[in-house]
A and B are shown apart, each in its own frame.
Chain A
Amino acid sequence: MSDAEITTETPTGHSRRTFIKGVIATGAVVSSSSHLFRARSLSASAAVRASMPRMISLDVNGVSRSVDVMPQETLAMTLRYKLGLTGTKLGCDRAECGACTVLVDGVSHYACSMLTNTVRDRSVTTIEGLESADGTLHPVQQAVIDEGGFQCAFCAPGFIMSMVALTNENPEPTREETAEALSGNLCRCGDYNKILNSAMRAAEYARRMV
């Protein structure tokens, strides 16, 4: 595309919506807007430099993904808004509700409360990464469906990731151990009994597969 063509397109082509889309698509614009809205002036040069994104490589669900990440960006933000992995939910954004639970090197973490830059050399698994290539569901997912484990299910991805961590670490959990393992996840519908039933069934399915 030549410069002339760009010039002719520009006046009509920029609605607010396309600007916002552009912002999402290009981390550089996000970073420059982030300091526009800061209370401190541009003279806080260290902080302004800090808002520059950096292209890093993340191992997400077994795939290496290149992505522009800002220093203060949380993993939940990167997964949802940069990589389009919206299965990871943001509930409280305060390490309280567990909706954002993902596995980092197989261990459960709150993605809302870790910086993306801290998982550069580690492998991240989200709810999207559970089913196998041929579409077979993970035993935990199958168990949740068979038990009808959730009502509204906003919390389900987080609970399911915690259940996967549990079945990996403890193949034969008691109901009490299961409750403890899921104590970092909240369900506002109050489906805890059905969720525990799902987790117990999931452990059973996982044992059968081994």
Chain B
Amino acid sequence: MAVIRDMMPAFELFQPTSVDEALDVLERHDNTWVLAGGLDSMDWFKDRIKRPDVVVELGSVSELSGIRVSGDGLEIGAMTSLRDVAASEEVRSRFGILAQAAAEVATPQIRNQGTLGGNLIQDTRCWYYRGGWPCYRAGGNICYAGTPRSMNREHAVTGQSRCVAVNGADTAGALVALGAQMMVRNPGGERVYEAEDFFIGPEIDIQRMTVLEPGDLLTHVRIPGDWAGARFYWEKVRDRKSWDWALASVAAAIVESNGTIERARIAVNGVAPTPVRLTDVEDLVQGMPANDDTGMAAGELATRGFKPLRHNDYKVPLARNLVRRAVRGDAA
């Protein structure tokens, strides 16, 4: 996309100080846009691809920031910066996989400004879509990344449905593995979604990445105590050591006793339009020893039925090996 070095198109800016006020503004106006850290949004604005009339900036809503102990788990405000999530002693000591995932997002400046909620609901990075091409996801009737000659090295190997874009949120896989819940508010009240149901694929709605609809706000992420202190495994593979989205990542929480896996929760991301929870693999490894044989079997099962595109078949062995390492318990 050409760099346009002038002002973004005008919009009206609201900076509410409470969730109620934010919801009220969203309800009263059309063509609204909710702005958190802004790192995903501003590319869209600068490129003139998304042109909201009303932007609701949530930086002043203090009830949306911060990490607090809730029951035996944690409740993290959607506007908490990735830096604060990664640095939080509570998160690091009990749910380390989330701290690791947050610490590997992009660059220090982006983690300082970017929020947990913004990371979770970021739009896909498919460059045809990002470049303003009128694809299915943008309301058109073609997927430019799915044609025989497309450049689709970074795209999905499973879960495709017309659209072949992947979810790029590093923290999403970690929260699925932790069994987190997403709390969503709109003027009608509050709804709670399991993390794995919060993300939706193109077969449900090709223009959205999550259940959020206009007027909805993701307010908090609730992490139950179920997996606190489990053996965690997080690995993100990317083209360079910093500042990049994952080609594939794995997030696993595994509880063992005497070398046997009692229960496990495993998610991979970067391979499908949503983070993928591997329930079959979880069932398979239950009661099995945490070793390489189990890991191999888990990796095979995890990638069964994957359908790579022209340029991304490498993602199949990549995901297989990530799951294998997670299950056998490599030092992360």
Residues of chain A touching chain B, judged by Cβ–Cβ distance below 8 Å, are 30-31, 34-35, 38, 44, 46-51, 70-74, 77, 90, 92-96, 98, 101, 107-110, 113-115, 117-118, 162, 165, 180-181, 183-184
Contacts and interface: CB of A to CB of B under 8 A. Distances in A.
B39 A47 contact: no
A117 B60 CA distance: 11
Contacts of A180: 108, 242
B11 A72 contact: yes
Contacts of B108: 108, 162, 165, 180-181, 183-184
B29 A77 contact: no
Contacts of B53: 44, 46-47, 50
Identify the interface centre among B7, B42, B108, B243: most chain A CB within 10 Å of its CB: B108
18 contacts: A30-B7, A34-B7, A47-B10, A71-B55, A90-B5, A93-B5, A94-B43, A95-B39, A95-B110, A108-B109, A109-B112, A109-B113, A118-B15, A165-B108, A180-B108, A183-B107, A184-B107, A184-B108
B57 A117 contact: yes
Interface size for chain B: under 10, 10 to 19, 20 to 34, or 35 or more residues?
A: 35 or more
Contacts of A70: 7, 10
Identify the interface centre among B9, B43, B107, B241: most chain A CB within 10 Å of its CB: B107
B3 A47 contact: no
Contact of A114 (B4, B113, B242): B113
Nearest to B41: A113
Contacts of B5: 90, 93
A81 to B, nearest CB: 10
B106 A118 contact: no
B109 A117 contact: no
Nearest to A31: B10
B46 A94 contact: yes
B249 to A, nearest CB: 18
B239 interface: no
Interface in B1-26: 3-5, 7-13, 15
A38 B38 contact: no
A92 B109 CA distance: 15
B306 interface: no
B138 to A, nearest CB: 17
B15 A117 contact: yes
B45 interface: yes
A4 B29 CA distance: 47
Nearest to A95: B39
B54 interface: yes
A35 B15 CA distance: 22
B134 interface: no
A46 B59 contact: no
Interface in B241-273: 241-243
B57 A115 contact: yes
Given A50-B11, A71-B11, A115-B38, 14 more contacts: A30-B7, A35-B10, A46-B54, A47-B12, A72-B10, A93-B3, A95-B42, A98-B107, A107-B83, A109-B109, A114-B113, A118-B15, A183-B107, A183-B243
Interface in B38-65: 38-39, 42-43, 45-46, 53-55, 57, 59
Contacts of A114: 38, 113
Contacts of A73: 7
Given A94-B3, A94-B43, A110 B109 contact: yes
Nearest to B242: A183
B10 A50 contact: yes
B65 to A, nearest CB: 13
Nearest to A71: B13
A197 to B, nearest CB: 19
Nearest to A50: B12
A34 B42 CA distance: 18
Contacts of A72: 7-11, 13, 45, 55
Given A95-B109, A183-B243, A49 B3 contact: no
Contact of A184 (B9, B12, B110): B110
A183 B110 CA distance: 11
A50 B13 contact: yes
Which 6 A-B residue pairings sit nearest by Cβ, starting from the closest? A184-B107, A71-B13, A50-B12, A183-B242, A51-B10, A184-B109
A70 B6 CA distance: 13
A127 to B, nearest CB: 15
B274 to A, nearest CB: 25
A96 B244 CA distance: 10
Identify the interface centre among A48, A92, A95: most chain B CB within 10 Å of its CB: A95
